[in-house]
Amino acid sequence: MEPRIIVNFVCQRCLHPIQLDPGFSHLNEHTLAELALPIYPGEEVEFDPSEVDKLVPPLPLTDSGHHPHGFTLVGESGDTEKTQPLKVATNLYDLVSSNSGIDHPLCEECTDALLDLMDTTLSRTQKQAQMSQQLYASLTDMPDTDVTALENELKNLQLEEERLIKELAEVEAEQDAAQKVLEKHEEEKAQLEDEEERYWREYCTHKSQLTAMEDENRSLKSQLTYTQNQLERLKKTNVFNTTFHIWHSGHFGTINNLRLGRLPTAPVTWQEINAAWGQTVLLLASLARKIGLKFSKYRLVPYGNHSYIEVIGENRELPLYGSGGFRFLWDTKFDAGMTAFLECVAEFQQHVEAQEGQAARFCLPYRINKHCIEDPTSGNSLSIRMQFNSEEQWTKALKFLLTNLKWGLTWVSSALFSSTQGES
């Protein structure tokens, strides 16, 4: 078993335990006085803290009762033989720590590292001292002329510095003025950008309105063109021919596809005959009103399938509609109405043929004589009455009547077209 080693101290740098050499147990007063002398006779050399791994400030070991690695010395009642070497070592370390600025004790490795650091610092200091001496020697050996030249150069440089300082002040003043101008321009730029944005918004709004107006204008032009075309077409359209279509269907004359007349082989209903008479009365009344003709004895009253003729001054109505039968006494009013209507057609014929100019050469194809219509082909007169008349002759007379009205319709339409062309 190895002998027990008593450890009293730890390294103040690496905190590893160290064992004190027995030679430091007893030191005389002369040795302590030598150790109390300062290590550096001149100014103290400061070490770079970055080059020291860990620097622990000096701590008197005699007052380290509360230190984590401190020691408690036994009083006079303690063992003097055991505490005396400890006191000596403690005083020694305190003395060395106060002289060197480094806390002791140190282990051998930390001491070697500290010595290497001090050697490096010493070498660097020596180089700096050598460079300082060389610089001092060069300045000492410099002649007076060079010094005067350097002083003059220094003065010139000082004057140049003052001038440059003034120029710098002027430039800074100009910079401040330029900065103010720049800020003003920045404000103007911001205002112009706001105005530009407002302008573009207004431009887009007006552009949109212009596009809408152009579309509306094109639409109106298209509508105008369409309306003008429709107007031209309507001007060329014969209203009477469109409204009153007179044609024939076999032995029957038709107006708006309604047959006027009756045959034993084709018994047309009285509803159709009455409606055809209503269209015929409406046609003659319209033609007379268009040319400004007022009949002397009668007034036509279009009333659909119950149209009639009013005798002026007698307060009497002549019907132009029937209800059935043939050659009966109650048909005399219907015959009187048809005779009165034929007289109105004759008056219309006389008015048209009495017009001047080209209208004087216009005449209806079938002549009217009282209640009869003359057939120019055979020379016979066909009565429009139903009494004492055959259905074939009555139907043929009605067909001649519609033919005359168609010719009158053509004349009025041509005269109307000529007046329209003259006005345009």
Mean per-residue pLDDT of the chain = 79
Which of 246, 243, 251, 245 lies closest to 268 in space, CA to CA? 251
Contact 397, 253 (CB under 8 A): no
Assign 130 a pLDDT band (cuts: 50, 70, 90): very high
Instruction: Look at the chain and count its residues.
Output: 424
Higher pLDDT residue, 296 or 98?
296
Higher pLDDT residue, 51 or 399?
399
Residue 100 pLDDT: 64
Average pLDDT, integer, range 70-95:
56
Assign 149 a pLDDT band (cuts: 50, 70, 90): confident
Domains and CATH numbers, the chain: 9-141 (no CATH), 242-419 (1.10.418.40)
Which of 7, 5, 3, 6 lies closest to 105 in space, CA to CA? 7
Q: Is 319 helix (H, G, I), strand (E, B) or coil?
A: strand
Per mean pLDDT, which range of 102-106, 119-123, 191-195, 360-364 is the poorest? 360-364
In the predicted structure, residue 86 carries a pLDDT above the cut 80: no
In the predicted structure, residue 89 carries a pLDDT above the cut 50: yes
Average pLDDT, integer, range 234-252:
79
Higher pLDDT residue, 413 or 27?
413
Higher pLDDT residue, 90 or 292?
292
The whole-angstrom separation of Cα 411 and Cα 417 is: 10
16 phi, psi to nearest 5 deg:
-85, 145
In the predicted structure, residue 197 carries a pLDDT above the cut 90: yes
The whole-angstrom separation of Cα 391 and Cα 280 is: 19
Global pTM value: 0.47
Helix (H) or strand (E) holding 113: helix 108-141
Residue 203 pLDDT: 94
| Torsion angle in degrees (nearest 10) through CA of 346, 308, 372, 291 | 10
